[in-house]
Amino acid sequence: MNPISTALAASIERWLTPGQPLIVGLCGTQASGKSTASAQLAEHFIAQGLKVGVLSLDDLYLGRTVRAGMAEQAHPLFATRGPPGTHDTAIGIVTLDAVKRGVPVMLPRFDKRADEPLSSRDWPLLEGPCDLLLFEGWCVGAMPVPADLLAQPVNELERVDDPHGIWRRYWNAHLGGETAELFARLDRLAYLRPPSFEVVHTWRCEQEHAYQAQDGAQRAAAAMTDEQVARFIAHYERLTRWIMEEMPSRADVTIQLDEARTPISISVRE
């Protein structure tokens, strides 16, 4: 396991209780290493004989057709997946509740290339009773941004595309409503804190370049340029900055990363 996974494994081992399903939320920015850590942790604990599942917040995305309706009815920026309100929280809640009951459950999956959820026929089965579910995502466990902080645009995207704050107030209200109900199912929360928001652009561009190299010409034709990545992550900036400020005080474990994604400090809340 890499250093992030090793640090998280130590905390999870303390949290596990035989016979009680444990749902651990893992919050981290785009390309922070949370998906890799979740996969390594699942392999680690499965090797110990535990039943482990991994669910990404990304797998709960509403498809482009549904988001197109949101874009028409609520705000055009909802055509882009990412913020609270663009996830199927109802399916997420049903899934986590089934894990808590110890019954078998199909784990949702989303096809990012098609920009639509996979058919439920293609979802993996997590047999019950589950010992550990790792629920990872860029804003897993986040709390709403204080209303007074929403007034001024945080970047060019908000200044040009959301000058009246309709979009950001909408997703923030959702974060305090249906999305909060989903996150209330978490037993523990771990946070991978970046050194700055600015580094997220670098990380996400590196990730995009790696995807292109792996998948060849077909992927490259549909890949985002660095400029497109910058606009894409601008949708996440306000909430990401708020998470960086407020989450370390309440996360069960916070791992501070440097620009190379190497843990430089670990804070555990007892």
Residue labelled with tokens 């555990």: 268
User: Which of 4, 63, 55 shows the shortest CA–CA distance to 185?
Assistant: 55
Q: What CATH number did the domain enclosing 140 receive?
A: 3.40.50.300
Give me the DSSP letters along 246-265. Answer: HGGGT-SEEEEE-TTS-EEE
Give me the DSSP letters along 5-58. Answer: HHHHHHHHHHH-BTTB-EEEEEEE-TTSSHHHHHHHHHHHHHTTT--EEEEEGG
pLDDT of residue 222: 57
With respect to residue 35, please indicate whether it lies within any of the assigned structural domains. yes
| pTM score over 0.85 | yes
With respect to residue 266, please indicate whether it lies within any of the assigned structural domains. no
Distance CA 200, CA 207 (A): 10
Q: Tens digit of pLDDT for each residue in 164-198?
A: 999 999 999 999 999 999 999 999 999 999 999 99
Give me 41's structure tokens.
């942790």
With respect to residue 268, please indicate whether it lies within any of the assigned structural domains. no
With respect to residue 31, please indicate whether it lies within any of the assigned structural domains. yes
Within 10 angstroms of residue 48's Cβ, the number of other Cβ atoms is 10
Is there a contact between 135 and 12 (Cβ–Cβ < 8 Å)? no
Collapsed DSSP state (helix, strand, coil) of residue 112: coil
State the total domains in the chain: 1
Identify the domain containing residue 171 by its residue range: 3-260
With respect to residue 270, please indicate whether it lies within any of the assigned structural domains. no
With respect to residue 269, please indicate whether it lies within any of the assigned structural domains. no
Contacts of 149 (CB under 8 A, 6+ apart): 242
Is there a contact between 41 and 5 (Cβ–Cβ < 8 Å)? yes
Distance CA 46, CA 145 (A): 37
With respect to residue 72, please indicate whether it lies within any of the assigned structural domains. yes
Q: Tens digit of pLDDT for each residue in 42-69?
A: 999 999 999 999 999 999 999 999 999 9
Is there a contact between 34 and 206 (Cβ–Cβ < 8 Å)? no
With respect to residue 192, please indicate whether it lies within any of the assigned structural domains. yes
Q: Tens digit of pLDDT for each residue in 102-145?
A: 999 999 999 999 999 999 999 999 999 999 999 999 999 999 99
Distance CA 252, CA 270 (A): 7
